[in-house]
Structure 1
Amino acid sequence: MANERDATTVQAWKAIGGSADLTAKVSYRGAGEVLPAVLPVRELARATVGACSLAAAELLAARDGGTVPGVEVDEAAVATAFTSERHLVVDGRALTPFAPLSGFWRTADGWVRTHANYPHHRARLLAALGIDGGTGRGGTSGKDDGGAALVGRLTETLAGLTAQEVQERVYAAGGLAVAVAPEPGRGSITRGQPLAETVAAGGTGGRRLSPADVPAAGVRVLDLTRVIAGPVATRTLALLGADVLRVDSPGLPEDPDSHIDTGWGKRSTLLDLDSAEGRGVFLELLDSADVVVTGYRPGSLDRRGLAARELMARRPGLVVAQLCAWGWSGPWADRRGFDSLVQAARGIAAIEADSEGRPGVLPAQALDHGTGYLLAAGVLRALCERQTDGRGRLLRFSLAGTADWLLNDVTSEPVREGGYEAADWLTESASPYGPLRHALPPVRYEGSPGTWAGPPTRWGTDAAAWLGAGEQGA
């Protein structure tokens, strides 16, 4: 177990306001060349998990009045968790991560990357390009849609357009496609996004957390996130003892496989925030919440009267953590985005290209997973600071910020000795979806939980209420 201070972990820890001295508590166990890539993905992955583990240990000590326990992070556990969706087996069925119409496509002058995993995104992509998609097949994910003939029509259409034409036409239709930047620094989007921001502090009044066996015990978290980074963050908070209630719109079904992969330890309810009744229930939940995590585009909740500052004004001491794809400033701030698209537009796909020049990908959805662990770490640190001053925090993270960090600041380190068998970090659990094979959590400190308290519940079937409602003071 190596215990030298890791420079990338120090960067991540300082980005969320931590003291660099405390990073001496973090050590890593090597597993060989895991998450191999041109870019230092292994270093990013272990640092974000290390920072999250340290934040958990720090909060536990703040609650108990003791010393911060040591943090031990295994790179094998990290590598397995960062590819958790690839290891998930649901009742004997392996997942299909991407739909046929999601991927890289040649254009008249380069490449574009599309994302069409959800039926509404698939429909918008095809409509923008004037392609008749038919009725489609498959369930809520749309991953079975798109036969060979449809793929052929899309290939032919895109080949006759420039990458910028495709990008802007699809965006105008509400779909998802980006031009692949030929190298970092080339492209149409603002760069230099910060890794993390603490924008403002809410008023005093946050409750002081009592001593507990796990860091986030009794913490109430409203989870308004989708696909992958936000749910990874809230899954991690649930691991550490939080009561996490995910809130979705009844009109926007979730991909069942994504929900299973990231729903561990959480509950799931449906609320129509466009209705007075739905907003009323949400505000009742807010009145005894500690944390709100959002993963919608900037401004989406503001239009519903649920802007971060309004939430914090209603609930003094509230921690609000916001996540978006492209950053909180610049011309792309309000655009939809996913990890794969940010990789393409930021120049990562070009760096990871194959010998024939076809754009490549990172060995994991590393922007998603890394941002998720960093966001969870930021929330834990904010709760730790609230123990002292009673104040809430407004935190902001973006996939683009994590991408810029990977491209500009994360440094390659020698591969640490050790072997890697993913099976060592997989387990099986019963669930409402049948037996599941799944990855174990990588967050580790002395005495940490080994896995979640329970499996994912059926999407949208839980009551819009806190566990033990009435037992915890507001």
Structure 2
Amino acid sequence: RRGPRGAGPGPGRRSVQSGRYPAAGLRVLDLTRVLAGPVATRTLALLGADVLRIDAPWLPESQDALDDTGMGKRSARLDLATADGRAVLGRLLETADVVVTGYRPGALEALPGMAPEELAARRPGLVVARLSAWGWSGPWAGRRGFDSLVQAASGVAVAERGPAAADGPPGALPAQALDHGTGYLLAAAVLRALTHRHRTGEGTCLRLSLARTAHALLHARPVPAPAGAEEPPRLRETVTGRGSLRYVASPVEFEGGPRDWSRASGTWGADAPCWEGAAGGAGRGSSR
């Protein structure tokens, strides 16, 4: 859904086409948790965006999970249930280009001024991307959910048990493919929305769900696997304040594009809630 028209590219309104990479110079507020949302914002960080992840102080994140999905980002804690916390977020929003939310539908809307429509109205031209488990209509729309539950409910688990096990137990995909797939689709949708804004000045409200990705996978035309052995994942290694971190390189690759993230994952909540280059913006998290 298209949002209010903004000022167009220029001071305070960075262009998706500026800089070397597709998201260079853009500012992304990351209000997501495991796993699809962080994958999307990690991809935007790879492509040059300044991504600031905001978490509530009472919702601690697994450092292992952050090491995986926090590449290229900074991590800050902010209590949006308080007026002071919302005031800080409001200042961040003044120069934000994208807000990505991944909490259960209704959770942010319960806070004053935090509904997606309200965020878009406060910042004309803003791209607001929302994730849910079950979609945006129907009796399950407001439910919590995660990848494995959506696999079971959508028919993926039945499809994965294989034709030789018609009466056997349900199967599962070998990875959280709905989370990762939805994350990459969301990153692509954000880039398309930013391109639209660059041309028209209009913001966009995006809505993606794990259930819709499951439906797409179940109804996709089968593609034969390429001949030959499967290429092993490319592993990289860097040193952080917590020691050596070994990780898989991003699958996003194109000619002239980034080879790696600009920084390794930092410590959860260790950065200041401000943009890179602002007072304290370098944060206290580890970087390369």
User: What TM-score, normalized to structure 1?
Assistant: 0.55
Q: Deviations over 1:385-415 (max 9, x none)?
A: 111101110000000010111112x111222
Aligned position for 1:280: 87
Match of 1:444 in 2: 253
Q: Distance between the aligned counterparts of 2:128 and 2:32, measured in 1?
A: 13
Shift in Å at residue 345 of structure 1?
1.0
**Structure 2 counterpart of 1:329, from 129, 137, 158:** 137
SS at match of 2:61: coil
Query: Structure 2 counterpart of 1:323, which letter?
Result: L
Match of 1:205 in 2: 7
Hey, what does 2:119 align to over in structure 1? 311
The 2-side partners of 1:415 and 1:253 are apart by: 40
Give the C-alpha shift of residue 468 in structure 1.
Answer: 1.6
Instruction: Give me the TM-score of the superposition, normalised by structure 2.
Output: 0.90
The CA distance in 2 between the partners of 1:433 and 1:406, in whole Å, is 38
Identical-pair percentage: 59
Deviates more, 1:231-240 or 1:436-445: 436-445
The answer to whether residue 223 in structure 2 is matched with residue 396 in structure 1 is no
- Structure 2 SS opposite 1:371: helix
For 1:433 and 1:308, the matched residues in 2 are separated by 36
SS of 1:364's equivalent in the other structure is: coil
Aligned to 2:182: 371
* One-letter amino acid matched to 1:226: R
Please name the residue that 1:240 is paired with.
47
1:433 Cα offset (Å):
2.7
After superposition, where does 1:188-227 map in structure 2 within 5 Å? 199-206=1-8, 207-209=13-15, 211-227=18-34
The aligned counterpart of 1:21 is none
For residues 201 and 364 of structure 1, the distance between their equivalents in structure 2, rounded to whole angstroms, comes to 35
Match of 1:454 in 2: 263
Structure in which a larger fraction of residues adopt helix:
1
Aligned residue for 2:242? 433
Question: Which residue identity does 1:447 align to in structure 2?
Answer: G
Deviation at 1:444, TM superposition (A): 1.4
Task: Trace 1:39-118 onto structure 2 (pairs within 5 A).
Answer: none
Q: Distance in 2 between matches of 1:341 and 1:202?
A: 36
Select which of 378, 392, 417 maps to 2:227.
Answer: 417
Q: Distance in 2 between matches of 1:307 and 1:208?
A: 24
Consecutive aligned runs of 4 or more in structure 1 exceeding 4 Å deviation: none
Unaligned runs of 5+ in 1: 1-198
- Residue 417 of structure 1 and its aligned partner are, at CA, apart by 2.2
Query: For 2:75, what is the secondary structure of its paired residue?
Result: strand
Aligned residue type for 1:369: H
* Secondary structure of the structure 1 residue equivalent to 2:240: coil
Secondary structure of the structure 1 residue equivalent to 2:110:
helix
- Take 1:205 and 1:217, find their aligned partners in 2: how far apart are those partners? 19
Aligned partner of 2:75 in structure 1 is 268
Instruction: Give RMSD over aligned pairs.
Output: 1.4
Look up the match of 2:286.
none
- Looking at structure 2, the residues matched to 375 and 215 of structure 1 have their Cα atoms a distance apart, in angstroms, of 15
Distance in 2 (CA, whole Å) between partners of 1:307 and 1:388 is 26
> Is this contact kept in 2: 1:204–1:317, CA < 8 A?
yes
Q: Determine helix, strand or coil for the equivalent of 2:236.
A: strand
Equivalent position amino acid for 2:83 in 1 = A
Instruction: State the structure with more CA Rg.
Output: 1
Name the structure 2 match of 1:153: none
Q: CA deviation at 1:208?
A: 4.8
Tell me the matched-pair count.
270
Residue 430 of structure 1 aligns to a residue whose secondary structure is strand
1:243–1:467 CA contact under 8 A, matched in 2 = yes
Match of 2:36 among 221, 225, 229: 229
Q: Secondary structure at the match of 1:435?
A: strand
1:362 aligns with 2:173: yes
Code of the aligned partner of 2:40: A
> What is the SS of the residue equivalent to 2:88?
helix
How far off its partner does 1:421 sit? 4.0
Name which of 277, 282, 290 aligns with 2:97: 290
Q: For the Cα contact (< 8 Å) 1:264–1:455, is it kept in 2?
A: yes
**CA distance in 2 between partners of 1:388 and 1:461 (Å):** 37
Q: Is residue 202–residue 394 contact of structure 1 (8 Å, CA) maintained in 2? A: no
**Which letter maps to 2:5?**
G
TM-superposed CA distance for 1:261, in Å, is 0.6
CA shift for structure 1 position 418: 3.6
2:282 is aligned to none
